[in-house]
Amino acid sequence: MRIKKEKGTLDKVPISINLEEWIWETVDRIQANRTQFFRELFLEKMKKELLHAKLIGENDQMTEAFADYYRILCQQKRRKLPVRLDRSRVRSRNAGENVPASIKKKPVSLNLESWIWELISNLDPNRSAYFRRLFLAKVKNDLVSAGVIRGDAVIGKIHGDLYCQYFGPGDTKPEHGKLG
């Protein structure tokens, strides 16, 4: 999967991921570059977990050198989790007809470094689901820490709008307070 380029440049690979339309709208309102947003989101999670495991220092930059440490750490965590039965989803033939446009999935191509794609593929074979979980966890954690929502909230489009309102670019940010 590696693409050879000139020495000194990062080899980037375009990969398509499918996320709901409201997620893409939220990302676009927060940051103009979708690839940069998801790259930073992944590297932030990677650094947080490696720091928690005391495998890196606070000032270390996340590079390909730490990919093996992170992969091993995630494999160890996965071994400790209880085994889940594989449940296949059953959908009717007409399931996609009455779905609102905001929750329909839309494929978008991201250009991330090949070592990031390889690492994510080792962690989860469904890259779209992996990035969806990362995004939803970030939105939930940030809104809970700001006191906007409770920890038991299920994240949806309305929370994406709240996230843009509280953490998006711009000078008109509302006062942090409990909404519900």
% residues pLDDT > 70 (the chain)? 77
Phi, psi dihedral angles at 81 (to 5 degrees): -80, 150
Task: Report pLDDT digits (tens) over 127-152.
Answer: 999 999 999 999 999 999 999 999 89
Within 10 angstroms of residue 21's Cβ, the number of other Cβ atoms is 15
Under DSSP, is residue 110 helix (H, G, I), strand (E, B) or coil?
strand
- On the question of pLDDT at 120 being above 50, the answer is yes
- Does this model's pTM top 0.85? no
Q: Which of 9-13, 40-44, 133-137 has the lowest mean pLDDT?
A: 9-13
Please tell me the predicted confidence (pLDDT) of residue 3.
44
Q: Which of 63-72, 75-84, 141-150 has the lowest mean pLDDT?
A: 75-84
